[in-house]
Homo-oligomer: A and B are copies of this chain.
Amino acid sequence: MNRLILIVSGPSGAGKSTLLKALPEEEFYFSVSHTTRKPRPGEINGKDYYFVDHKTFLEMLERGEFLEWIEVHSNYYGTAKSEIEKAFSQGKHLVLDVEVIGVSNLKKYFGPIAISIFITPPSLEVLESRLRSRATEDEEKIKERLNRAKLELTYASFFDYVIVNDDLEIAKEKFLSIVRAELCRPFRVKF
């Protein structure tokens, strides 16, 4: 089993999704989460998220179909176990983009085959300006996200790796280097 499970987290607006999109699709399978939040303009069901209503989400939850789930801003987010199986059957590295709070449980669940990566903006000031330039949310939502980011940053030191997403190319190279390095772990190398 030479595939990695990459648990990625970090504040909204850190440039996580841009970074993840820059990674080669032939090597990485990006887990699609279920969510009860409304799609943003341009977001596609089944690609960005599986957009479901509260009733559907809670039914899946009851049937134990989620690997992890969380409630944020009155909406549910969850990773369905079926997504994991999809990734493994394609022989790709699995990338799980999850909320900070869910990382510790996932690490315990997967054991040493999973590594956690925290993606952070260079500073809270940069994060604020990114959130404002996005211009999809009102002032209250931005403030809520910034407060949340401050909290999330306090978790960073518990991750295996931290990538400061300042320059996209450098951040991408760091991500790929982490993957290459982890593939050199003794239990993954044939010799």
Contact = CB atoms under 8 A, between A and B. Distances in A.
7 contacts: A118-B186, A123-B191, A157-B187, A158-B186, A159-B186, A162-B185, A181-B181
A156 B118 contact: no
The quantity of this chain's copies bound in the complex is 2
Contacts of A161: 181, 184-186
A189 B162 contact: yes
A174 B180 contact: yes
Contact of A120 (B123, B157, B182, B191): B191
Interface residues of A, number: 30
A116 to B, nearest CB: 10
Nearest to A166: B191
Contact of A186 (B123, B157, B180, B187): B157
